[in-house]
Chains A and B, each alone.
Chain A
Amino acid sequence: MVSPVPKDLLYTETHEWVKIEGDIAIVGITDFAQNQLTDIVFVEMPVLGRTVERGKECAIVESTKAASDIYAPVSGVIEEVNVLVESNPERINSDPYGDGWLYKIRITNPNELKGLLDPDRYRQVTVNA
C-alpha cells in the first residue's frame, strides 16, 4: 500500500518530491514511485557541481525490473548527493521521504518553484496514473 503524501513537500508529475531549505532543493522519489519500481539495486547520481535543468534527466535508478530516469524538478547546480543511498539503494524503497533522499540542488531560478505540485495535486496524479 502507498503511504499518504507528506504535506510539507512539493512534487512533480514525474514522481519526484522536493523539500525547500533556503536556496537548496532536496530531491527524492515518492513512495508511489518506489512501489512501482520494486527493488532498487543501483543508483547513478549526478556529478557534484553539474548544472541541471528543470525537467531534464538528472539521475538514473535501476530496479530489478527496469531503469528509470529521475528528473531535476528545478534548475540549478548539484550541491550534494546522498552517498548512503549510493551504497544502499534499497533505502529508497524503505524510506523514500527520509534516508532515501537522492541529491540537493542549489536553486538558480526561484520562479520555477511555482511550477511544482502541492500535495493534493500530486495525489491526483497518483490516482490517475
Chain B
Amino acid sequence: MTTALESPLISFHVEHNASIVDFAGWMMPLHYGSITHEYAMVRDHAGLFDVSHMGRFDLMGDDVISEFQKMTTRRLEGRSYGRVVYTLIVNEAGKILDDILVYLRGDTYISLVVNASNRSKLFSWFQNYLPSHIKLVDRTFETAMVALQGPFALEMASQLLDSNPNDLPFYRFNPSLSEPVLVSRTGYTGEDGVEVAGDFDSISQFCRKAIKLGAIPAGLGARDILRMEMGYPLYGHELDEETSPYDAGLEWAVDLDNREFIGANALRLERESSKGTFNTGLLMQGKGIPRQGFSVRSDGQDIGVVTSGGFSPLLKRGIALVRLPSSPSENSTPTIVIRDREQEAEWKTPPFVPDRTARKKVVPNE
C-alpha cells in the first residue's frame, strides 16, 4: 500500500477548510466549500490555486536546449531566454506522453513543469534519452507552486513580488536573481494571472499575503471547469498514449519541418495520411450535463465522443469538448447521449467564454 503524497501547503488547505481528494497520488484540495463560488471568484476577482503536485524538473549542461528538443514536438532553439514554451512529448509512435511547459532560462539551464500523473514516467523517459553530460534533477519535492488567476490577480501579485509582473508579456517568466521565486505570466483558467514557484517558505508566505489582499483559495474542481470553458486540453481526457497531436487538434504544437525529434517520423506519416479528426465543443440546450465518454450523435448516427464534459456556471448549461473522426455536416443537429436519452446540443468552437489572458495585452517593455 502506498500512501498519497501531501502538498507542502497542506496546513494552508486545512486552515481554509479544504475538502481533500487523492489526485494523481497527491492529497489535494478539490474545493474549500463551493466549486461554483471559487469558479466565480476566479472569473470576477482573484483565485489562488495550489499546483505543487505538478512535476518540476531542472536540466543543466552544455547544449541542453538542442539536446532536450530532440524529445519535444516544438522547436526550442532560437527562442529568447525568459520564454515559456508549451510543447508535447511524444513516443516513437507519435503518441502523447504528456503536455509540458519549458522555461528557457539560459543556454545551459532549462526548467520543466509536467503533469503530476506523468512525473515518474517522464523522468525515466528523459533520463533514458538525455546524454550523460546533461544533469536532470527532480525539484518537485523541494519546491511549491501556486497560480494566482483573475482580473485582480496582477494587481495583487505586483504587491507581493519584488519585480512587477505587469511587465511580463504572456508566456514569459522572470528569472531574476533577486527574487527567490520563479514568476511566469501563464495560467490554465483563461484569466490573466501568474504562476509562482519556489521554496516552501517563500510560496507559503506568498499564499498568506495573497489571501490578506483578498484572493480566495480555489481547488481542483473549479480549475477543471475554468480550463474546460477555455477548451484547454487535460491529460487523461483530450490527451493520452492512444492519441497523437493530430488526433487532439494540436498541429500548431508540432514543428516538423527541418528538425528531428523522437516520434517525428511517425508524425510525418500521419500528417501525410491526413486523418481529418476534428475537435470542437458542444453547448447543451437542455438540462443534461455531458461527461467524458458519452456519445455524440447526429441524424441517428454516432459521430464522436465527449473528451471532457461539465457544467459552465457562466453559461448555466452543460458544455463538452468533443472529438469526431471527421468534421460534422453544416446543418446537422448534434445530440449527446446522457443516460440513454439523446439530448440536444449546439456546436460551439471553444473557448466558451472570452479569453482574458495576457495574450492580447500590450506590455510596456516588450
Give residues in A with beta carbon < 8 Å to B. 38-39, 41-42, 44, 60, 62, 64-67, 90
Contacts and interface: CB of A to CB of B under 8 A. Distances in A.
5 nearest CB pairs, A to B: A39-B36, A42-B287, A64-B35, A62-B289, A41-B311
B291 interface: yes
Contacts of A64: 35-36, 221, 225, 310-311, 313
21 contacts: A38-B19, A38-B31, A39-B35, A39-B36, A41-B311, A41-B313, A41-B316, A42-B287, A42-B289, A44-B287, A62-B288, A62-B311, A64-B35, A64-B36, A64-B221, A64-B311, A64-B313, A65-B35, A65-B221, A66-B291, A67-B339
B43 to A, nearest CB: 14
A38 B221 contact: yes
B243 interface: no
B34 A41 contact: no
A88 to B, nearest CB: 12
Contacts of B316: 41
Contacts of B19: 38
Contacts of B339: 60, 67
Contacts, number: 38
Given A64-B36, A64-B310, A67-B291, 10 more contacts: A38-B31, A38-B35, A39-B35, A41-B311, A42-B288, A62-B289, A62-B311, A64-B221, A64-B311, A64-B313
A42 B30 CA distance: 20
Given A60-B339, A64-B221, A64-B225, A38 B287 contact: no
A118 B310 CA distance: 36
A41 B35 CA distance: 11
Interface centre among A62, A64, A65, A66 (most CB of B within 10 A): A64
Nearest to B17: A1
Contacts of B35: 38-39, 64-65
Nearest to A93: B34
Contacts of A65: 35, 221
Contacts of A67: 289, 291, 339
A90 B33 CA distance: 13
Interface in B286-336: 287-289, 291, 310-311, 313, 316
Nearest to A66: B291
Contacts of B289: 41-42, 62, 67
B190 to A, nearest CB: 17
Contacts of B30: 38
A52 B102 CA distance: 57
Contacts of A42: 287-289, 311
Given A64-B310, A64-B311, A67-B339, A38 B34 contact: yes
Contacts of B34: 38-39
A41 B36 CA distance: 9
Nearest to A86: B287
B36, B221, B316 — most chain A CB neighbours (10 Å): B36
Nearest to A62: B289
A35 to B, nearest CB: 8
Contacts of B313: 41, 64
Interface string B27-63: 0001100111000000000000000000000000000
Interface in B91-127: none
Nearest to A35: B19
Contacts of A44: 287
A40 B47 CA distance: 21
Contacts of A41: 36, 289, 311, 313, 316
Contacts of B225: 64
A71 to B, nearest CB: 15
